[in-house]
Structure 1
């Protein structure tokens, strides 16, 4: 049973559009959309007792949206403020992974089967908001998460704008505003010339890239990777969040192959071995990656870690 109540319109006093979605199955909102959060200080995100609030730029305009779980009712309540409120409320099932078909998923490892049982409410999200996922992914190329999150936090606070709604959230900059960020601000954010240039190229094609949400997945990946500086890793990171791609495993990540290899074989592996290991899961390879991550299955962090590096201008690299 999949029930959606009609959205309640905003009134002149700024009341939100409200949508209640009862899909007749478990829904884990935090697990499903948690990868959209870019570190603990992400100014576009706020954790709440029964869910979270976040701020997006939609095709209909800016929005602040609160996702709240109602487990006893088997429902999710969404409240949205701003011009994009109706767009978000209309898209709640898609955003929360209703189109993610798990019926063909067959776990081939005990740990994967265990995680699949433990997280029945997780689905691959599909926000349809390509640029919202793409710019942070570019900033995360070839650096530590802490470094990337700090840079994104600085840029959004300095060059974004206040979101609608009661949560004191910030919106990421518009494509036009990203293009106006001066070079010294990228440097203050710890973003090297290569990544800054890739962001600027990407936002220059913002309209074409947002169309990826309506393309077949192979075509969407091809269009993303046609931008110089965007490779398989970045494309996968976007597809996992904005396109609902259950197969978009993060090849090229510093940790993913090592962690999955350690979890499933007892030893860290490289990308080639990861591709072979996940071959039986074709169509669901990202599902395996995320389920193992949700289950906390990663190798002990006793060895050398990726270091935070100094940033100097360099030739753009694809990741």
Structure 2
């Protein structure tokens, strides 16, 4: 079918109208979040996986973001719910800023401050987002806030005022006015028209987080269970419901807990959150999405890495492989330092001792979640001998202290758009952080998919012929063909 006349918005890059329409007609999950379809006959925009009858090509307009579709006058579909779509991850400045905005960076409306964090002027920031998404920073932020509010309306029973504030609106009146202006419907009508809130555990808010299938949830939990920090995290592999992950949470002064379970029939994770965290739901959801790598496109990654004979065989037994991330970058950084020159089990033991000595006690409905991980300032104010008392050599205790001071000064908050090489250099500026530790932190905490610790002994052995071992230089040369997904190759080799 000829779709050459089907309009493409400037925000959609790398795809033509024929490819978009074929993906739409096939409801291809690989393109979920990559583009959105505005239907001119209804004024509604949908995800490519929407189950409604496929519109005619002449009625379709394709957009690279929900914000671009809304700026063109389309309203979000109540059936496929564009707010559930995984993000279309790309390694560029515009998408890095988008991710920051999705986490609530512009909820205070301060474009100048965001621009300063990015290292641009506000005019340059506006130009970057206009070029990639066809909308201004404020328009992008408004779309993210409205979609998040819509999500809360359909999935929770939060009072309307709490929905407005959780979605970053300064007042309920402003929320109601913008919602009605953009969507042509009152917030209360969205709640009545929705599918209803998911059943929640007593004293919990429950949200749904979609991903592109498949997802190897069992493998993900197995990896996290071996590295779970005693007192902070709890992983259950045999709970009779497919397993779950729970932890304590501290964001911007709000303290609580969360629990994540898998709902494979919906291609979603179910997130239960303590009501005390209602005010920080936007950044919390962004962190959980990153921790479980929900925005990965496993078909694209496997298609690229599968061309290598060694990786191809391993990936066949790991459909939906993801890189397990970290809820908190500082926490993961400390865990990585504790893992220097010791086994995974040894590092886990040390991390539990660190939490018991320097963490803060808290209550949660999980028997093994008893503490909040120590904040950077708490460790930065400790002495080397106090830190070493958990069973560390003085040199490694000093590295813990150095990293804590680095984080307390804002060092772990990397500027959007920073390259992998720049981030590695910044981490290595901390005395005691070498190449292996820096790449490990970049892979799991900073979410660089091409981070690759070529100095890792396990990777050197796994990539060699049986019984052999590659040198660091040889492994780096072999891994060059795996770029830009070397981090996923590392996981396949570690887990194989």
Q: TM-score range, shorter-chain basis?
A: 0.7 to 0.9
Offset, 1:161: 1.9
Q: Does 1:8 align with 2:167?
A: no
Matched, 1:246 2:449: yes
Following superposition, which runs of at least 4 residues in structure 1 exceed 4 angstroms of deviation?
9-14, 32-38, 125-128
Pairwise CA distance, 1:77: 0.1
1:18 and 2:213 aligned: no
Cross-structure match for 2:269: 76
Distance in 2 between residues matched to 1:164 and 1:127, nearest whole Å: 22
Distance 1:272 1:19, change over 3 A: same
Corresponding residue of 2:259:
66
TM-superposed CA distance for 1:183, in Å, is 4.3
2:413 to 191, 211, 222: 211
Deviations 1:128-168 (A, max 9, x none): 73211101111112233333222211111222123453114
Question: 1:233 Cα shift?
Answer: 0.7
Check conservation: 2:388, 2:397, Cα contact below 8 A.
no
Does the residue aligned with 1:228 lie in a helix, a strand or coil? coil
User: 1:255 aligns to what SS in structure 2?
Assistant: helix
- The equivalences for 1:1-319 within 5 A come to 1=32, 4=84, 5-6=151-152, 8=156, 15-29=203-217, 31-32=219-220, 35=223, 39=227, 42-48=230-236, 49=239, 50-59=243-252, 61-81=254-274, 82-83=276-277, 84-101=280-297, 103=300, 105-127=304-326, 129-168=328-367, 169=369, 170-206=371-407, 207-212=409-414, 214-218=416-420, 219-262=422-465, 267-295=468-496
Q: Distance in 1 between matches of 2:353 and 2:332?
A: 17
SS at match of 1:167: coil
Give the whole-Å Cα distance in 1 for the aligned partners of 2:297 and 2:372: 31
Instruction: Tell me the number of residue pairs that the alignment of Structure 1 and Structure 2 aligns.
Output: 293
SS of match in other structure, 2:307: coil
* Other structure's SS at 2:206 match: strand
Unaligned runs of 5+ in 2: 1-31, 34-80, 85-150, 163-200
RCO higher in structure (CA 8 A, sep ≥6): 1
Q: Residue 210 of structure 1 aligns to a residue in which SS?
A: coil
SS at match of 1:261: coil
Number of the residue aligned with 2:39: none
Moved more, 237-246 or 92-101: 92-101
- Is contact 2:210-2:269 (8 Å) kept? yes
Alignment gaps of 5+ in structure 1: 296-319
Shift of residue 34, structure 1, vs aligned partner? 5.6
| TM-score using structure 2 length | 0.53
